[in-house]
């Protein structure tokens, strides 16, 4: 997949949407490279993990979105660093946030949701989360995330840093009934973590069966290796026009 700002590929009738899922590592790496990576990808939606979640989080979230050429749709502190950012092509009609129960001694985790529309009739729900590194804690968080996905009013696009590889219990819970974009594109060999030593696919993007996966890539370039400790996942989709 090219990351240049070219027209989105269209393989069959539908409404095109380009989505980027990115754990930005708390913006602790090369932020100029990070902004360039996202701008060159030209996404309609960016689902961020490890975004601003503390002091002045609104201002910092807006600045991050502006550096990408996007606007904040949902998330931030209420979802504990998960953000949904959109281009002006996407209309956001409703937002929600969730905090997962705190396990003493562990980091707080959560999820962000945005109901969106492109054009007159292509409606979808974007969801983003970042599950725990604790294997005992992850399955319960996955259950709560999945409950929200099941209750979403529109076809779902769900992205997360699952901190777990395919086949694990939390991964299976979130993936149930959805299409793994990497599987649909036959790109499961594209690893997402870490940029310094890629060994694992722990960042995933799942879509409702009514949404077509046109293309999928894990963007591994000199810039992405400087921008974060995770590679971004870039996916081109076709939304059903009457969803």
pLDDT tens for each residue of 30-88: 999 999 999 999 999 999 999 999 899 999 999 999 999 999 999 999 999 999 999 99
Q: What is the Cα–Cα distance from 17 to 218, expressed in whole angstroms?
A: 17
In this predicted structure, what is the pLDDT of residue 107?
A: 80
pLDDT in tens, 75-127: 999 999 999 999 999 999 999 999 999 887 678 899 999 999 999 889 999 99
Sheet strands side by side (includes 156-161): 91-99, 110-118, 122-130, 156-161, 203-207, 179-180
pLDDT band for position 2 (cuts 50, 70, 90): very low
Residue 1 has pLDDT above 80, yes or no: no
Query: What value, to the nearest 5°, has the Cα angle with vertex 128 and ends 175 and 214?
Result: 60
In this predicted structure, what is the pLDDT of residue 225?
A: 98
Residue 242 has pLDDT above 80, yes or no: no
| CATH class name, domain 15-239 | alpha beta
Dihedral angle computed from the Cα positions of residues 153, 233, 242 and 179, in that order, rounded to the nearest 10 degrees: -70
pLDDT in tens, 201-225: 999 999 999 999 999 999 999 999 9
Residue 8 has pLDDT above 70, yes or no: no
**Cα 65 from chain centroid (whole Å):** 14
In this predicted structure, what is the pLDDT of residue 166?
A: 98
In this predicted structure, what is the pLDDT of residue 120?
A: 86
Which residue, among 78, 35, 74, has the nearest Cα to 232 in the 3D structure? 35
Q: What is the Cα–Cα distance from 108 to 98, expressed in whole angstroms?
A: 11
Q: What is the percentage of the chain residues whose pLDDT exceeds 90?
A: 88
Q: What is the pTM of this model?
A: 0.93
């Amino acid at each position: 997949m090219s990351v240049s700002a070219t027209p989105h590929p269209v393989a069959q009738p539908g409404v095109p949407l380009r989505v980027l899922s990115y754990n930005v590592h708390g913006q602790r790496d090369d932020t100029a490279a990070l902004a360039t990576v996202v701008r060159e990808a030209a996404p309609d939606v960016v689902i961020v993990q490890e975004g601003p979640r503390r002091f002045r989080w609104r201002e910092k979230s807006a600045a991050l979105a502006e550096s990408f050429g996007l606007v904040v749709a949902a998330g931030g502190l209420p979802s504990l660093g998960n953000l949904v950012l959109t281009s002006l092509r996407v209309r956001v009609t409703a937002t929600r946030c969730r905090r997962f129960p705190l396990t003493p001694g562990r980091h707080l985790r959560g999820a962000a949701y945005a109901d969106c529309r492109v054009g007159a009739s292509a409606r979808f729900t974007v969801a983003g989360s970042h599950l725990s590194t604790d294997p005992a804690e992850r399955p319960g968080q996955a259950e709560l995330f999945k409950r929200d996905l099941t209750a979403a009013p529109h076809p779902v696009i769900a992205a997360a840093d699952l901190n777990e590889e395919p086949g694990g219990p939390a991964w299976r819970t979130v993936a149930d009934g959805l299409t793994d974009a990497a599987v649909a594109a036959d790109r499961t060999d594209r690893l997402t973590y870490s940029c310094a030593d890629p060994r694992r696919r722990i960042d995933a993007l799942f879509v409702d069966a009514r949404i077509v996966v046109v293309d999928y890539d894990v963007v591994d370039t000199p810039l992405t290796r400087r921008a974060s400790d995770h590679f971004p996942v870039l996916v081109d989709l076709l939304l059903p026009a009457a969803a």
